[in-house]
Amino acid sequence: MAYDQTDQFAPFVAPANEAGASEASTLAQRLNAELRDAHPATILRAAYEHFGDKLALVSSFGAESAVLLHLAAQVDPDIAVLFLDTGMLFGQTLDYRKTLAAKLGLTDVRDLRPHFEDLAVGDPNADLHKTDTDACCHIRKVVPLDAALEGFDAWLTGRKRFHGGDRLRLAVVEESEGKLKFNPLANWSKEELDAYAAEHALPAHPLVAAGFPSIGCWPCTNPVEEGEDVRAGRWAGSQKTECGIHTARAPGAAPFMGGDI
């Protein structure tokens, strides 16, 4: 059953200009101060109360995705879930996306795929990942997500501080490209995630047992050794730590190259 909205939080009006973007930043700072120590369920409910159907959840259906998806399903099983099907995901991930969504009763999982025109121009042989991983991620992840998020005023991510890198300073609520971005699991440890998953009997991604604690596209994801960082298997051997969807866009940059298929 969807979470009943209350009057605790005032509704947010989407920004339409620089003044609106500043308003979003101010709201993000206020909500982050109020929610920085809150339980993930409380953060999710606050986001839903503010934005309703203008709130989306972006999920990779990866190693730790089940916890946030389960929490969201308790608030509203009809929430829009944006899944980036890059065309290079493990088959296990595609199967997991179907089974987990059905188990949790999520009714609006949207598969976002790269634009045909962008692939034809930028990666016609599907080997761009061998020479320019940033460009590959841009075509297959950033571009489709930017286009999909145009219909929303806020979004939820599954990022956590214990993943390290730039995520060590992760806020619970932040402003990004004029939208609010909520990170309900920012404060939780691996132990807390595992305990929640066990309490609710959430199925694990099948590759976790094979040594993949973080799972992306198959060409750029490796298993990790015991004791290594959670994300050590992502773009192993390079300085790259993020795919780009959580990186600020350059001012004036085109939101996407091509159009819909």
Given the residues 136, 137, 220, 243, the one annotated as active site: 243
11 phi and psi, to 5 degrees?
-65, 150
Report yes or no: 80 and 57 within 8 Å, Cβ to Cβ: yes
Smallest CA-to-CA distance from 82 within 92, 95, 72 is with: 72
Report yes or no: 235 and 219 within 8 Å, Cβ to Cβ: no
Report yes or no: 223 and 234 within 8 Å, Cβ to Cβ: no
6 phi and psi, to 5 degrees?
-125, 180
User: Mapped to the 3 state alphabet, what secondary structure does 163-225 carry?
Assistant: HCHHHHHCCCEEEECCEEEECCCCCCCHHHHHHHHHHCCCCCCCCHHHCCCCCCEHHHECCCC
Report yes or no: 208 and 188 within 8 Å, Cβ to Cβ: no
Q: Which residue blocks in 14-107 are alpha helix, DSSP H?
A: 18-35, 40-51, 65-75, 91-104
Active site residue 217: no
Smallest CA-to-CA distance from 235 within 207, 212, 216, 211 is with: 216
Active site residues: 243
